[in-house]
Chain A
């Protein structure tokens, strides 16, 4: 069953269309990666899926209903969004920020219920920032802040998570931990996770499906192994590199002209050309 279906999505900011006739579906409980070079419309697509942007033509069906029929409150019960971290104008703390996600569930007096506090504590633990609970957002690192935003989305307790490059500021350890967490959410809590990512190798290891957006509103979709072929990567990203296989999944290491092992590419492509 598809929890999200996008049909013939077209969107443009100027007269040149960014997304044209984009059709794809997200099966419920799957982990989808949205990849592609800069400026190709990934964040725009995310904003359309989270109803921040109005569709210009085409439709988005969420759980069988058109996305426009959802009120903000209803939508918030279905989708939680994690965008790029930032420092807010006022000095909220980590725990205050995470608990904001529970605002629709506060009690009559406008205060957090014990259940809310428990959910928030769980989210902090899952993102490994429980010890930062009372620090102000301005006083922690960008990576830690990103985890706060993720924790906030988790606290919303929605079946769908949308994330915009959630690991861009994180160190290796936390990159893996976040993907592990997202995968865990998918497996244990049956969440549907849609993440925009630049890391195609991590996407290959964790995601079930990939939607690769390219210039001129082209796109590719399929499993990571299908989509991330050297050829496609070369076409879409315009770079070459070394591809290999780990065990079940491929990996790709981009190499530029001055990279130490650059020669591997010419050798490999020479081999490929021969076959």
Chain B
């Protein structure tokens, strides 16, 4: 091969000088994410449905100028402009909304998004909401940044109290083993490292499944039988009316019919619940905990 020293040499020179020029011109662009405690933000964009709920709960309804798809609670959130989905946010829409604060979930869930926003010089607040304590923490953080410290403290205290109440109520009772179904085909359940597990324990129960690598492990029939849950719970999404819940329960009962040996089936302790509040780590977590507690210990919640 006729490699003329000339052209390859000049190519190498080109690459080197191009790179150096680039570094010289652009390398000041490493903006770290800062949590500005700036003046009261007027235009807020929430990049996740639970963040939307928190903002609404803090009384910031009028300041919200953008939400992501499936921000369906409270109902008036559905009127807000949509900025794409949780997984594929529409950055253009965010820019066009001219927010002075963008709230996003942290590294584990929306990694990179915060950086993209910060690179565009948006005032970004990222919070990690993976557990209930983190949720309460996040509420306070959001409250600080949005100048709603008092409202935030009230909200987090109310939630803490409600959760404690439930805990206390069920403390005396037995601890039923709970199988929390995420998906039927193939069968997936909530494992021990999820916030759902926290709900289960708060509600006085114990996860029927032993600790696993996955947060939401797929399980086989043997494990179902071996774990012998006392209660089976499945959330149903997009519940429009009562009929949806009944239909869902029907399906679930049919599915588990083959497992006659387990306590939940023989004791007829199979429940379906409205998944909307339960699947989200947001301000309705106390309602979620109560719903679960009612399934686990219905006798403790008998209302006249």
Contact = CB atoms under 8 A, between A and B. Distances in A.
Direct contact of A and B (CB under 8 A): yes
A256 interface: no
Nearest to B4: A108
B36 interface: no
B258 interface: no
Interface in B1-57: 2, 4, 6-7
Contacts of B2: 104, 106
A106 B3 CA distance: 12
Contacts of B7: 108
Contacts, number: 5
B107 to A, nearest CB: 48
A108 B2 CA distance: 9
A104 B3 CA distance: 10
Interface size bracket, B side: under 10
A181 B4 CA distance: 36
Contacts of A104: 2
A108 B6 CA distance: 9
Contacts of B4: 108
A5 B4 CA distance: 35
B160 to A, nearest CB: 72
| Majority DSSP secondary structure for residues of A touching B | loop
B213 to A, nearest CB: 48
Nearest to A72: B1
Interface in B173-218: none
Nearest to A103: B2
Interface in A71-109: 104, 106, 108
A104 B2 CA distance: 7
**Interface hub of B2, B6, B7 (most chain A Cβ within 10 A):** B2
A237 B66 CA distance: 90
B129 to A, nearest CB: 57
Nearest to B6: A108
Interface in B273-292: none
Contacts of A106: 2
A104 B6 CA distance: 16
A106 B7 CA distance: 14
A106 B2 CA distance: 9
A93 to B, nearest CB: 23
Interface in B63-90: none
A136 B202 CA distance: 78
Contacts of A108: 4, 6-7
Contacts of B6: 108
B6 to A, nearest CB: 8
A194 B2 CA distance: 29
A50 B6 CA distance: 32
B216 to A, nearest CB: 49
B187 to A, nearest CB: 50
Nearest to B2: A104
Interface string A104-142: 101010000000000000000000000000000000000
B3 to A, nearest CB: 12
A257 to B, nearest CB: 57
A143 B68 CA distance: 69
A116 to B, nearest CB: 13
A142 to B, nearest CB: 32
B128 to A, nearest CB: 55
B5 to A, nearest CB: 11
A108 B7 CA distance: 9
A170 B96 CA distance: 73
A173 to B, nearest CB: 39
A123 B6 CA distance: 32
A156 to B, nearest CB: 15
A189 to B, nearest CB: 25
A22 to B, nearest CB: 34
A43 B191 CA distance: 70
A108 to B, nearest CB: 6
A106 B1 CA distance: 11
A68 B15 CA distance: 39
A180 B4 CA distance: 40
B215 to A, nearest CB: 50
A165 to B, nearest CB: 31
A115 to B, nearest CB: 16
A92 to B, nearest CB: 20
Nearest to B7: A108
Nearest to A105: B2
A108 B4 CA distance: 8
A198 B7 CA distance: 49
B33 to A, nearest CB: 49
B115 to A, nearest CB: 43
B230 to A, nearest CB: 68
A104 B1 CA distance: 7
Query: Shortest 4 CB-CB distances between A and B: which pairs?
Result: A104-B2, A108-B4, A108-B7, A106-B2
Interface of B: 2, 4, 6-7
5 contacts: A104-B2, A106-B2, A108-B4, A108-B6, A108-B7
